[in-house]
Amino acid sequence: MPQCAAFGAQVRFVTDLGFGYLDDGVRTHRLEIDMLNQLLATCLTERAAEVLARYPTLFVPVDSPDAARESFRRARVG
């Protein structure tokens, strides 16, 4: 069951040439890899609501920690 479904759009991203390209459903953002690391890690903690307040279109679809781990580790799209 995806978390934070109320926030709507799903986030998809790739990493390339040292940057993360994160599409929030409205547009694609370019983030420093460190910032992307921080953002994605934070999304899986109790600070998720704080992050989502800051990035209102942000939504990370994960069904389980393993799914998130796999998805984020390989930086796969979809």
Partner 1 sequence: MPGTGLPDPGSADPVGRHATPLRVALVASPLGGPPSQVHPIGAMTVASYLQTQLGEQVEASVLNFGSSPASRARARACLAELAPAVVGFPIYSSHVHEVVGWARELRRLLPGAVFVAGGPHVTLSWPGFVQRWGSVFDFSVSGDGETPMLAIVRGVLAGDLTAAREHPGVGWLSGGGVRTNPAAPPLPVQDWTDPFRCPVLHDGQPLVFTDRREGRVRRAVALVSSRSCPQKCSFCAIIAMPGGWRAAPTATLVEWLAAEHRRSGFEHVYFMDANFFVSADRVRELIGALADRLPGVTWSTSSTVGFLLAMGEDLPWLVERGLRAIEMGIESGSPEQLRFLNKRVSVQRNRQAVELVQRNRLELGLDYIMFYPDQTVPQLMENLAFLADARLLDEEYFDHYTNALELYPGTPVRAEFERRAGRPFDPDELPDPGSLFADPQIQRIYQAFVGDFVANHLPAIRSRINELRRFAAGPDTGPLDRQLARLQIFLLRHVPFKVLRQLCEDSSATTAAQALPWLAERSFAADAVLALADSTPLRLDPLPEPVA
Contact 75, 14 (CB under 8 A): yes
Closest distance between partner 1 and the C-beta of residue 5, in Å?
Answer: 13
β-pairing, 12-16 vs 28-32, is: unpaired
C-alpha angle 20-49-75 in degrees, rounded to nearest 5: 25
Q: Which is nearer to partner 1, 41 or 54 (CB)?
A: 41
Closest distance between partner 1 and the C-beta of residue 70, in Å?
Answer: 10
Closest distance between partner 1 and the C-beta of residue 55, in Å?
Answer: 15
SS3 12: strand
SS3 3: coil
Residues at the interface with partner 1 (CB under 8 A): 3, 9-10, 12-19, 21, 23, 25, 27-28, 30, 33, 36-37, 40-41, 44-46, 48-49, 62, 64-65, 68-69, 72-78
